[in-house]
Amino acid sequence: MLVSVVLIFSYFFIFFIVAQVIKNNSIVDIGWGLGFVIVVWFAFFISNDLSLSKIILNLMISIWGLRLFFYILKRNVFQEEDFRYQNFRKAWGKYVVIRAFFQVFMLQGLFMLLISFNSLYFNINSYDFNIYSLIGAIIFIIGILFEAVGDSQLKKHLSKNKTLMTTGLWKYTRHPNYFGESLLWFGIFIYTLINGAPFYLIFSPLTIFILVRYVSGVPMLEKKMVKYDGYREYMRKTNIFFPWSSRR
């Protein structure tokens, strides 16, 4: 486990160095999904127990991580720094480098460790495959479909016009992509739990849920979007996170 911890923080240190060279801290977002893929397969190969249960788990994480990596890479590459990091840069002033190191890159490393801890624990221990664990895999599939379809619908909509996206999955939740991401990690947790991992590792999916719902994901976007025409009406009609029928 210690080697995996060192790998995670070394990974984000490399991204920090690159960010200082190109003057763009939002590069950290590109490395987010890929980092999970690297660290779980690393833990898998050093465990000397190449079991089916671990392969299925890591394939799920790889599907999520690589999809997110290529999606953000295509969206962000050669673009200016994301508005969140621009705001940090203005607020931090002359301390932007040191604060970005700890509050962006090392903090993301900590979050990656917490979120992936359940999967790392599973990879470094031995668990037999349980067919009922596929319940977790089904939940994962639902979650990643929510995330991927939500992202795709938004991208297609914005390519045609700049109006609010209020159709498709966005009719039932204002943040289907964040809901999907949270759900898929709970699916991963249920998969490992049924295969024998301890319940206390639930802090891993809870971490990503708290982050996207209450810290960095939903709150930041809501603060930005509320300034746009029609968004308050959209807020009144549509659930913020959990999908539900729209209100009249």
Position 248 scores a pLDDT of 65
Position 66 scores a pLDDT of 97
83 has pLDDT over 90: no
Distance separating alpha carbons of residues 122 and 125, to the nearest angstrom: 5
Q: Give 222-240 as a DSSP string.
A: HHHHTTSTTHHHHHHHS-S
127 has pLDDT over 90: no
- Eight-state DSSP code of residue 241: S
Please state which of the ranges 104-113, 157-166, 182-191, 219-228 shows the lowest mean pLDDT.
157-166
Burial of 102 (0-12, 13-18, 19+ CB in 10 A): exposed
169 has pLDDT over 80: yes
Candidates 96, 237, 78, 73; CA nearest to 171 is: 237
Q: Are 169 and 150 in contact (CB under 8 A)?
A: yes
Q: Are 130 and 56 in contact (CB under 8 A)?
A: no
Average pLDDT, the chain: 93
CA angle, 42 then 112 then 177, to 5°: 115
> Which residue's entry shows tokens 């909509």?
157
Q: Residues 6 or more apart from 247 whose CB is under 8 A from it?
A: 236, 237, 238
Position 78 scores a pLDDT of 80
- Eight-state DSSP code of residue 25: T
pLDDT, tens digit, 9 for 90 and up, residues 36-46: 999 999 999 99
Distance separating alpha carbons of residues 194 and 136, to the nearest angstrom: 8
Distance separating alpha carbons of residues 210 and 12, to the nearest angstrom: 21
pLDDT band per the 50, 70, 90 thresholds, residue 84 = confident
pLDDT, tens digit, 9 for 90 and up, residues 177-235: 999 999 999 999 999 999 999 999 999 999 999 999 999 889 989 998 998 888 999 99
Candidates 239, 205, 207; CA nearest to 222 is: 239
